[in-house]
Amino acid sequence: MLTCNKERIQNKIETFSTFGDAGHGGITRFSLSEEALNARTEFVKRMREVGVETVTDDMANMYATLHGTEANLPSIVMASHCDSVRNGGNYDGILGVITAMEVVETIATEKIPHRHPITAMIWTNEEGSLYAPAMMSSGVVCGKFEKAKMLASKSPEGKTFGEALKQSGYVGDEANRLTPKDYMAMLELHIEQGPVLEAEKKQIGVVEGVVGMVNYRIRTYGQSDHAGTTPMPYRKDALLAAASALKYLHAELDKLDSDLVYTTGEILCHPCVHTVIPDFVDFSLDARHQNPEVIKQVVKIIKNMPKEFDKCEVKYEEAWARSTIEFNEELVSLVQKSADAYGYTSKRMYSGAGHDAQYVANLMPTTMIFVPSKDGHSHCEPEFTSVDECLRGINVVLQTVLEIDKN
Ligand SMILES: [Zn+2]
């Protein structure tokens, strides 16, 4: 079996870890920041070393294409992102870019014959750390977001994404965008960002799709009164009601499928003063599962929740929702076949996190490959995947690209 180069992968991981090095094992590399531009320069340099030139599109997405033997065929693309969250790790996103580079480098240096062009790609602003929303540029290219609105997105300092884009020097031609005409399939390798592969001692995650989700706001309405002068039986405490509602929801949601995950991560309490009984609380409920039927049951539980807890009225509102995205079955099978061919252990799974690949899936055959995350940590500095684990994932991508090339 063909294999990529472990030392070269290690070298790339170490080199890219220096761009935005926060000094304690992780990075802060916001999209289009100086640190991210350094990562882009390194990408261009390394691709040029194997004879591959890089172009960009109007969202500064980068495309480095190795020509195949048949000039008119569409390209096979491997893509991920090189930006991070604040104090993120050295693997989220960038490992997919390193994978794309490594596969191109392997095919170029080993002179592996291939008919289709093969493209290593970087998506701009996947994390949305400075400029919301996340997956901004794939959203624009795939028709999910309006470009003008995205250009107006402001950082906390008041700079627009459009200004940052212009200053980056990486704005290219809209004609260079990823399209189903010029590209036949996209693969994205990513760290799992969860504990399952490691816990089950599986080396490769064969990703079948991205789970659907709903996000609700639950609100409780009470009465503000003096914290010292209002005896307990006279109170309408909106925070107590919110706690009761949350306990109720947990008890009911736990009766559903064990793969369901749900989270309350945000809570607003009014007036949020320690001497005042709260009169209003608003909290989030994010629930995710691959089966739309389970999500329907979640919604049913929310809608059937008692209208009153602890003498306070309770209301709910859907904030947003997304359907489960199913990746291309043929590609998923090819990934499975490639993992099996190397003798790697694998697990079929859904991604609980969002990725650029989920938007690209609307445009062309797309799938993802996961590698294990140590202790399941991600979006934090301890994020870690060993170079051996990376190599296995990258080999699976290499093999899958070469299988797609036969079509
Ligand atoms: Zn990512």
Q: What pLDDT digit, counting tens, does each position of 84-117 carry? A: 999 999 999 999 999 999 999 999 999 999 999 9
Q: How much distance in Å is there from the Cα of 132 to the middle of ligand 1?
A: 15
pTM of the complete model? 0.92
Q: What pLDDT digit, counting tens, does each position of 16-56 carry? A: 999 999 999 999 999 999 999 999 999 999 999 999 999 99
Q: How much distance in Å is there from the Cα of 127 to the middle of ligand 1?
A: 7
pLDDT at 334 over 90: yes
Q: How much distance in Å is there from the Cα of 91 to the middle of ligand 1?
A: 8
Q: How much distance in Å is there from the Cα of 271 to the middle of ligand 1?
A: 37
Q: What pLDDT digit, counting tens, does each position of 281-311 carry? A: 999 999 999 999 999 999 999 999 999 999 9
Mean per-residue pLDDT for 148-172? 97
Q: How much distance in Å is there from the Cα of 191 to the middle of ligand 1?
A: 8
Q: How much distance in Å is there from the Cα of 207 to the middle of ligand 1?
A: 14
DSSP assigned state of 328 = P
Q: How much distance in Å is there from the Cα of 98 to the middle of ligand 1?
A: 13
Q: How much distance in Å is there from the Cα of 240 to the middle of ligand 1?
A: 37
pLDDT at 81 over 90: yes
CB 380 within 8 A of CB 160: no
pLDDT at 367 over 90: yes
47 phi-psi bin (left φ>0, alpha ψ -120 to 50, beta other)? alpha
**For residue 248, what are the CA distances in angstroms to 26, 241, 267, 334?**
39, 10, 17, 44
Q: How much distance in Å is there from the Cα of 82 to the middle of ligand 1?
A: 8
Q: How much distance in Å is there from the Cα of 364 to the middle of ligand 1?
A: 20
Contacts of 14 (CB under 8 A, 6+ apart): none
Q: How far apart are CA 118 and CA 401, in angstroms?
A: 8
pLDDT at 390 over 90: yes
The pLDDT value given to residue 407: 84
Mean pLDDT (the chain) is 97
pLDDT at 211 over 90: yes
Q: How much distance in Å is there from the Cα of 182 to the middle of ligand 1?
A: 25
Q: How much distance in Å is there from the Cα of 312 to the middle of ligand 1?
A: 41
Q: How much distance in Å is there from the Cα of 92 to the middle of ligand 1?
A: 5
For β-strands 261-263 and 346-351, DSSP reports them as unpaired
Cross-strand pairs, 154: 160
Q: How far apart are CA 19 and CA 21, in angstroms?
A: 6
Q: How much distance in Å is there from the Cα of 93 to the middle of ligand 1?
A: 4
> H or E element: which one contains 206?
strand 204-210
Q: How much distance in Å is there from the Cα of 188 to the middle of ligand 1?
A: 10
Q: How much distance in Å is there from the Cα of 371 to the middle of ligand 1?
A: 13
The pLDDT value given to residue 116: 98
The pLDDT value given to residue 178: 98
Q: How much distance in Å is there from the Cα of 251 to the middle of ligand 1?
A: 32
Q: What pLDDT digit, counting tens, does each position of 177-197 carry? A: 999 999 999 999 999 999 999
